[in-house]
């Protein structure tokens, strides 16, 4: 029997580390996987942790969904107080929505928070296609890009955005597709380190960067396009998006503010949700669909990756919910640390105020109060993917920003709940507020 195993390990290389994994699984303690993780440091990825993850996955017979549910914590959002979150969200469920603004999908927002995404899907791929992708080994990445990707994976693994396993497990994990990695270079903006894309559209035949595009391993090719009402069940697979009209809505809101405030300064601001897609966790049974390999690791994402055809659409459900909560929510006298940093610009002189162009009403633009269809409301926020646009007069601007900050915390998590970077990163926060906005 031992000789037969030896022959098998020689014929199929992954079988040797697999046999060693079985030996380790008989006695290796895994309690450290449930221990709270420290903040990110400069040390390399822990291969010992990756191996313990592999042992745990083996003990669950490679049922990745059950393995994730056992891990819990950051990997499932179990640390969030969802009952309190939904109580606040329910308070605006019946609030009016201005003309042209999208309906808020409350039911799917709850399912996304508690189930993970996608909410439905059927994907098929041949094992031969997965094997080609593993052998391709992200061959199109240059040496300098490989270093940037390694730095990104090191940081994101420590943030629990990915789970890393020894690479050989790709051959034993059912449901795996294996996407390829591409790199979006920095755009020169402060703090921009470049962006890693796990490309679910690339399909290959063979093993070099210049291969013919033929295989069936691209998950994006099996996802329906968003906005196709004739496709049954589409919102569960790839929901519709409305950020294409966000700028128009924002400009209309500014115009209607100007109708009611002919000489007042209208201030502008925007907040940016950090690692926006990562805020949405994958359904435990579907996460392996978005996996990749890098160096000696098999990498499975926990939160949504940049590169999925349905990533923006699923994110926009809580994104539009945040904008609606910021517009219609009542947060009383609540405050946050970010608010204490706000610096309002000097108000315009009477001479400059007299130069402000007036705005007039028409059948589409009745003024801010009538546009909102609610005389008790003052705010209308527009969500453009991970940015929320804020416009209001000086005397109400702090309140508008307060609502935007607190609605982000309610939907995506308060800083005190998560050891990771807050959803509104203080280092990306702009405290200077005026009529000028650069985002």
pLDDT tens track for 118-176: 999 889 999 999 998 898 888 888 888 999 999 999 999 999 999 999 999 999 999 99
Cα(129)–Cα(221) distance, integer angstroms: 14
Residue 7 counted as domain residue: no
Tell me, yes or no, whether 87 and 208 share the same domain: no
Same domain as 220, residue 125: yes
Per-residue model confidence as pLDDT tens digits over 390-426: 999 999 999 999 999 999 999 999 998 888 889 998 8
Same domain, 25 and 134: yes
Is the separation of the CB atoms in 339 and 398 below 8 Å? Answer: yes
Task: Of 133, 147, 154, give the one whose Cα is nearest residue 200.
Answer: 133
Backbone angles phi, psi at 373, to 5 degrees: 60, 25
427 shares its domain with 406: yes
Q: Where does residue 111 rank: exposed (0-12), middle (13-18), buried (19+ CB within 10 A)?
A: middle
SS3 420: coil
Q: Mean pLDDT for the chain?
A: 88
Q: What pLDDT does residue 30 have?
A: 95
With a pLDDT cut of 90, the percent of the chain lying above it is 58
Q: Is residue 9 predicted with pLDDT exceeding 70?
A: no
Contact indicator for 223, 237 with CB cutoff of 8 Å = yes
Report if residue 5 sits inside a domain: no
pTM: predicted TM-score of the whole model, two decimal places? 0.90
DSSP assignment of 260-328 equals H-SSSPEEEEEEEBTTGGGGSBBPTTTGGGG-EEETTEEEEESBPPTT-TTHHHHHHHHHHHHHHHHHH
pLDDT at position 231 is 64
CB 33 within 8 A of CB 71: yes
Sequence-ordered alpha helix ranges (H) in 120-263: 127-136, 143-158, 234-237, 246-260
256 within some domain: yes
Enclosing domain of residue 100:
82-110+242-276+312-433
**Is 4 within the bounds of a domain?**
no
182 and 236 assigned to the same domain: yes
Confidence of residue 20 (pLDDT cuts 50, 70, 90): confident
Pair (256, 355) in one structural domain: yes
Say yes or no: 177 and 272 in one domain: no
Q: Is 156 found in the same domain as 96?
A: no
State whether 99 and 158 are in the same domain.
no
For the chain, how many structural domains are there in total? 2
Residue 185 confidence (pLDDT): 83
Q: How far is CA 71 from the centre of its chain?
A: 20
Pair (228, 175) in one structural domain = yes
Separation of alpha carbons 215 and 133, rounded Å: 10
Higher pLDDT, 6 or 377: 377
Is residue 335 domain-shared with residue 214, that is, in the same domain?
A: no
- Flag whether pLDDT at 88 surpasses 80: yes
Do 290 and 383 sit in the same domain of this protein? no
* Domain presence at residue 1: no
For 12-142, where are the alpha helices, taking DSSP H only? 15-25, 47-59, 64-71, 82-90, 106-115, 127-136
């Amino acid at each position: 029997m031992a000789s037969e195993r030896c022959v098998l390990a020689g014929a199929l290389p992954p079988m040797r580390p697999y046999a060693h994994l079985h030996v380790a699984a008989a006695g290796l303690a895994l309690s450290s996987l449930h221990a709270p993780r420290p903040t990110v440091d400069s040390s390399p990825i822990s291969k010992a942790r990756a191996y313990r993850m592999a042992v745990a996955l083996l003990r669950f017979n490679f049922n990745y969904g059950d393995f994730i549910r056992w891990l819990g914590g950051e990997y499932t959002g179990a640390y969030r107080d969802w009952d309190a979150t939904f109580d606040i969200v329910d308070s605006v469920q019946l609030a009016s929505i201005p003309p042209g603004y999208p309906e808020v999908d409350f039911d799917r927002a709850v399912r996304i928070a508690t189930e993970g995404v996608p909410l439905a899907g059927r994907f098929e791929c041949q094992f031969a296609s997965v094997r080609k992708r593993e052998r391709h080994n992200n061959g199109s990445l240059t040496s300098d890009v490989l270093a940037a990707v390694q730095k990104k994976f090191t940081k994101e693994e420590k943030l629990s955005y990915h789970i890393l396993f020894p690479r050989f497990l790709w051959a034993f994990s059912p449901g795996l597709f294996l996407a390829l990695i591409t790199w979006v270079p920095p755009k020169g903006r402060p703090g921009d380190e470049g962006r890693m894309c796990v490309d679910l559209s690339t399909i290959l035949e063979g093993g070099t960067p210049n291969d013919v595009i033929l295989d069936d391993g691209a998950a994006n090719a099996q996802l329906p396009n968003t906005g196709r009402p004739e496709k049954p069940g589409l919102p569960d697979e790839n929901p519709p998006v409305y950020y294409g009209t966000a700028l128009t809505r924002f400009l209309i809101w500014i115009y209607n503010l100007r109708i009611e405030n002919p000489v007042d300064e209208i201030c502008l601001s925007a907040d940016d949700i950090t690692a926006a897609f990562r805020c949405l966790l994958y359904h435990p049974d579907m996460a392996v669909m978005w996996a990749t390999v890098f160096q000696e690791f098999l990498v499975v994402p926990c939160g949504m990756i940049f590169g999925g055809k349905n990533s923006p659409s699923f994110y926009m459900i809580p994104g539009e919910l945040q904008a609606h909560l910021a517009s219609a929510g009542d947060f009383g006298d609540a405050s946050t640390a970010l608010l204490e940093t706000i610096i309002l610009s000097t108000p315009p002189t009477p001479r400059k105020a007299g130069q402000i162009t007036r705005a007039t009403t028409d059948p589409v633009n009745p003024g801010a109060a009538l546009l909102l269809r609610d005389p008790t409301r003052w705010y209308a926020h527009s969500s453009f993917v991970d940015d929320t646009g804020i416009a209001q007069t000086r005397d109400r601007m702090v309140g508008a920003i307060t609502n935007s900050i607190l609605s982000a915390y309610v939907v995506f998590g308060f800083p005190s709940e998560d050891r990771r970077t807050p959803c509104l990163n203080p280092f990306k926060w702009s405290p200077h507020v005026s009529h000028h906005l650069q985002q």
